[in-house]
Structure 1
Amino acid sequence: MNALTQPIAAEQPLANSRHDLQNARSLFDATLGFVRQHTQVADDPLVISRFGDAHIRIKVAAALLERAEEFLASGADDVEVSIAVAESRLASAEALNTASNAEFELTGQRTALPGSLHDPLRGKLQLIGNFRLNGIHPPSLHTSTKGAV
């Protein structure tokens, strides 16, 4: 089984998304506090843009997480649920990556966060793209309770 054929774990399909989004928000807030204390860089257009980018990515991830939660709660079509969960996972991972990079670029430090090697994100891009482009259905949430897509 690979990332494209492995079903999403039915017991907590959004746990990684929630975790990454929470970490992204924490990093964003900590970096914001650090930069505000250093007023000489708070007016820099590149620094301002970096915060704007991170903020938007966190908001998008939060919206996609909420959407996926609504799909799961509503008992929507398994295909749409699987796609919504994958979209949420990708957006939250991207938000965390952006917040982590901003932290390093603006503070010179990087908070150690647990990795997601067990959750291959590239496979999710292929899963979503293959469905939208070719109509290939992703594995169902209800197919199995092993692994995560």
Structure 2
Amino acid sequence: MTVEDLRRAVDAEVRRNWSDHQWTRWLDAAGDLRGQTFRNVVLIKLQMPDAVWVDGRSGWQRQGRRVVRGASGIRIVAPGRDVDRHSEPVQGHGVAPVWDFAQTEGRIPPWTTAASMRLPDVYAALTRVAAEAGIASNEDRCRMD
């Protein structure tokens, strides 16, 4: 996949979904996906509609998390220094993979709020806290829907 492929995908998605409702959804997504360009917000939501927090592999490692084996990267347009070595940079940009929080595992950064996490991640965090306190938990007794 090239930068041009990604640009065409964004253009097609924006043309296909030109409505007030969709623009509101993209703006809401931009609030969740802080630091991403509008183009990348559209690309991320196109590839993984439920994504709420993305970072590259090294970014997740710095936060004490790792990408789950087999998780597919979400392709975005990034500065040349962050690009996939197999893609060709275009005007200083190239294709780079990022992964959503749900595609990672490891410690949960202290600034993460339960509201920004998915229910299974909240449950896993609470289970770890309970286990550290010597309290057993039973997932079968909890509804996860």
TM-score, normalised to structure 2, is: 0.28
Judging by fraction of residues, say which structure has more strand: 2
Kindly indicate whether structure 1 or structure 2 has the higher relative contact order, using CA contacts under 8 Å at least 6 residues apart.
1
